[in-house]
Amino acid sequence: MKSITVNLEYHKYDILIENNLVDNIGVLIKKYTNTKKCLIVTDSNVYSLYAQKLKSIIDKEDITTFICIIQAGEENKNIDNILKIYEELAKSEIGRADIIVALGGGVIGDMAGFVASTWMRGIRFVQIPTTLLSCVDSSVGGKTGINTSFGKNLVGTFYQPSLVLIDSNMLKSLNDREFFAGMSEIVKHALLFDKEMFEFIEENYTRSNIEKNIDNLLYLNCKIKASIVEIDEKEKYERMMLNFGHTIGHSIETSAGYGSYLHGEALAMGIIFAIEYGIKLGITKNISILERTKKILNNLNLTTDIPKELNLKESIKQDKKKSNKNINFIFIEDICMPKIIEVDIDNIL
Ligand code: GLY
């Protein structure tokens, strides 16, 4: 089993990664939380695959387990479903000593985390990510939130999980669209911090090659994420770098309508925009990374051209990373050379 400890000022937690971890999840939850009761929050897709199995594995440890099912999809990451989870918590009489288990992708992790941070002013939660994207990004670092008509993730909290359990075997049930969308965050990490990983994906972009190396890739990416979060948990500066590609990525998701594009699909377009924009402004010095990154993303079945019919103007203005009328935009000068520069929104437009 691979393990990473995320060391924060007031909190510390482990990320455990293993193929077929699922059978040990009950024992691990007991060991790490000593809870007597838990609510599994999951979505309609994951429910039929894993939720009942997980419930019986957790039940075996004398933990009374309830399940709350949310309809799958980014369009359901909203306040109505937050209320639905609160209702289930009340019905199940989940109290301060109990836990929430987020079983699903980023949508479930963000919502369950948000609820955990607010129920009884904060109860513990465990992340069990089931998509590639949530394994390498959203399950680590404590960003929680929901979408509103005002913008993506504008309502949310920083609230760290107590434990992250990653079973790489679960990723086998993802369809190709979900799987490759998750690769966008890995390409992002590679461009920002890991040249060797970038070159590895350049050569190994088929699903079977990625799967052969999955535990190592999960480990490397969680390690990158953890080390940035350790330096800057609340995104005062360094963590902003992880928003590379996200200004445009989020705008695409918002303007196309939540759920039209998977987060990773929109991010792929945002990454290419960020490199092209950097080249245009003379910030990105190594021009060859544009074609290399496009090739990688296209090889991963990801489209990199922003659909012309999308009007990104309003959604860029709503982006949460803006301060005054400027945005902290993340560029890269070269691979492993990220740069945060404040730019005028009108300039981006
Ligand atoms: N997904 C970027 C972050 O967690 O900061």
Q: What is the pLDDT of residues 289-325, one digit of tens each?
A: 999 999 999 999 999 999 989 988 888 877 655 556 7
pTM of the model: 0.95
Tell me, what's the pLDDT at 322? 54
Tell me, what's the pLDDT at 149? 84
Q: What spacing in Å lies between the alpha carbon of 298 and ligand 1's midpoint?
A: 23
Tell me, what's the pLDDT at 69? 98
Q: Which domains does the chain have, with CATH numbers?
A: 2-173 (3.40.50.1970), 177-348 (1.20.1090.10)
Q: In degrees rounded to 5, what are phi and psi of residue 102?
A: -90, 110
Residue partners of 232: CB distance under 8 A and separation at least 6: 238, 239
Nearest 5 degrees, angle CA 54-CA 262-CA 137?
Answer: 60
Burial of 4 (0-12, 13-18, 19+ CB in 10 A): buried
- Closest ligand 1 atom to residue 243 Cα is 2
- Asked whether 258 and 77 are in contact (CB, 8 A), the reply is yes
Over residues 144-153, the pLDDT tens digits come to 999 998 878 9
Q: What spacing in Å lies between the alpha carbon of 143 and ligand 1's midpoint?
A: 7
Location of structure tokens 């790490």? 32
Give me the residues of the chain with pLDDT under 70, please. Answer: 319-324
- Asked whether 40 and 67 are in contact (CB, 8 A), the reply is yes
Tell me, what's the pLDDT at 155? 96
- Closest ligand 1 atom to residue 143 Cα is 4
Ligand 1 pocket, Cβ-based, cut-off 6 angstroms: 137, 141, 143, 239, 242
Q: What spacing in Å lies between the alpha carbon of 60 and ligand 1's midpoint?
A: 34
Q: What spacing in Å lies between the alpha carbon of 233 and ligand 1's midpoint?
A: 10
Over residues 84-110, the pLDDT tens digits come to 999 999 999 999 999 999 999 999 999
Tell me, what's the pLDDT at 311? 87
Q: How far is CA 201 from the centre of its chain?
A: 19
Q: For 172-198, give the DSSP string.
A: GGS-HHHHHHHHHHHHHHHHHH-HHHH
Tell me, what's the pLDDT at 338? 98
- Closest ligand 1 atom to residue 228 Cα is 5
Enter the tokens of residue 24: 């040990």
Give the closest residue (by CA) to ligand 1 atom 3: 242
Tell me, what's the pLDDT at 324? 67
Q: How far is CA 283 from CA 271, 277, 332, 337, in A?
A: 15, 8, 7, 11
Active site residue ranges: 121, 143, 185, 225, 235, 239, 243, 246, 250, 263
Q: Which of 110, 230, 239 to mutate to test the pocket of ligand 1 (most atoms within 8 A of CB)?
A: 239
